[in-house]
Chains A and B, each alone.
Chain A
Amino acid sequence: MKRYLRENSLGLVFGLLFLAVLIGQAFAGHADFNQQQLSEGLQPISFWRYVTSASFGVDVMENWQSEYLQFFLYIFLTVWLLQKGSPESKELDKAGRESEQEQKIGAYADDDSPSWARVRGVKLWLFSNSLGLVMGLLFLLSWLGQSIAGVAAYNEEQLGNLQDPVSWSQYLTEPDFWNRTLQNWQSELLAVASMVILAIYLRQRGSPESKPVGSPHTTTGVEG
């Protein structure tokens, strides 16, 4: 058990932090929603009613879709794009999908390589691209979720303002949808750009996200 906790501490800690913050968001969002209710002359709603509402749903989904987009783009683009001096980049002569030997595919697979790394055809293609595909799929699903919950939350506001609701397809052209989408995208892309550039010149001893403390600024694709 101790060994399990030590070997899985990164995933467990971030998983627990995510749950704690999501619960905190639910409480803060509930309080904010009820403030709006009172200002509109309506009554506060229960916590359970709020966490199953479109308002909470869209606030969660708009953040999830941008996170998965960030990871999808980061995973996919780092196959080809390079950044000299950054540990977030591959080495400057390694751009592209790399050789089968470097990727331990087929005849070059080890005894303990995943089984789909040893075969050919669709299974190999799927497994070779599984990380990007799943991140991309999760991005699309959560973006779809944002649009569905978003149109319901938007229409609730519309009715509260004595205006007509809109359809889902109309909502996709509304500033509200794109404002929510783009404000999240800009922050995710800023985070990646910041990390790629700052990691050239700054260090965090012991972190795999940093170069070793004594690595020159020009060294590319090494971990601390």
Chain B
Amino acid sequence: MNVPGTFSYPIGRNGRPQSRFEDCHPFAVGMLPRVKRMWIVIAWLLLLAAAGCSSVRDGGDGASAAATQMLQAVAGEDGVTACGLLAPDTVSELEESAGQPCPEAILDEDLPEPGAVTGTTVYGQWAQVRLSGDTVFLGAFPGGWRVVAAGCTPQGDQPYECTLQGG
């Protein structure tokens, strides 16, 4: 007898309850009870949305360290270290516009003294480090964060105007 709200497996010839196909095939999501299917879909949607959230905090410390290190190297007249922390396109652009190797050219750029980090934002492959007196934009590379643009000043809704900038 079927009692409303309950389920019982049919009894096979061997006298034991017969399991259903979905009990043997756990990946048969389509046959799970409707409520379970809904929660699985909702969990998947939230997981995909969380992919966006996770990019905000990842790598923030690395980006701010790279920005600070680059500015400190320039302030300390260490052009080689500073250039090692620049993105390849920024190095190329700097050498082309200055007409001299990067370690010398970067010391002639009018970059501000490194101030305290007031905020770091990371989204995907890009980061923005705000310091007192400067804003630096960095890109993610296999070897870590590299400075794409520095000595940047805000221009309202327009892109920042930067002293040092890649092509």
Contact = CB atoms under 8 A, between A and B. Distances in A.
A41 B167 contact: yes
A42 B139 contact: yes
A15 B50 CA distance: 24
A156 B126 contact: yes
A150 B88 CA distance: 29
Contacts of B41: 138
B123 A4 contact: no
A124 interface: no
- Range class of the B interface residue count: 35 or more
B51 A57 contact: yes
A155 B123 contact: yes
B38 interface: yes
Contacts of B1: none
Contacts of B45: 61, 64, 138, 141-142, 145
The SS class assigned to the A binding surface is helix
A96 B161 CA distance: 61
A132 B21 CA distance: 29
Given A4-B21, A43-B141, A162-B152, A155 B121 contact: yes
A112 to B, nearest CB: 10
Contact of B126 (A1, A45, A160): A160
Contact of A152 (B52, B89, B141, B157): B52
A39 to B, nearest CB: 10
Contacts of B125: 37, 42, 45, 156, 160
A162 B137 contact: yes
Contacts, number: 118
A54 interface: yes
Interface residues of A, number: 47
Contacts of B30: 8, 11-12, 15
B160 A149 contact: no
A61 B48 contact: yes
Contacts of B49: 57, 61, 144-145, 148-149
A220 interface: no
Contact of A156 (B5, B55, B87): B55
Given A54-B124, A145-B48, A159-B137, A152 B149 contact: no
B121 A56 contact: no
B64 interface: no
Contacts of A138: 41-42, 45
B124 A153 contact: yes
A131 to B, nearest CB: 10
A41 B125 CA distance: 11
A52 B140 contact: no
12 contacts: A8-B30, A41-B88, A41-B90, A42-B139, A43-B140, A144-B49, A153-B123, A153-B124, A159-B126, A162-B149, A163-B157, A163-B159
Given A53-B51, A149-B49, 16 more contacts: A37-B125, A41-B148, A41-B166, A43-B140, A54-B123, A55-B124, A57-B52, A61-B45, A134-B38, A141-B42, A141-B45, A152-B123, A159-B127, A161-B159, A162-B152, A163-B157
Interface of B: 4-5, 21, 30, 38, 41-42, 45-46, 48-56, 87-90, 121, 123-128, 137, 139-142, 148-149, 152, 154, 157-160, 162, 165-167
Interface of A: 1, 4, 8, 11-12, 15, 37, 40-43, 45, 52-58, 60-61, 64, 115, 118, 134, 137-138, 141-142, 144-145, 148-153, 155-156, 158-165
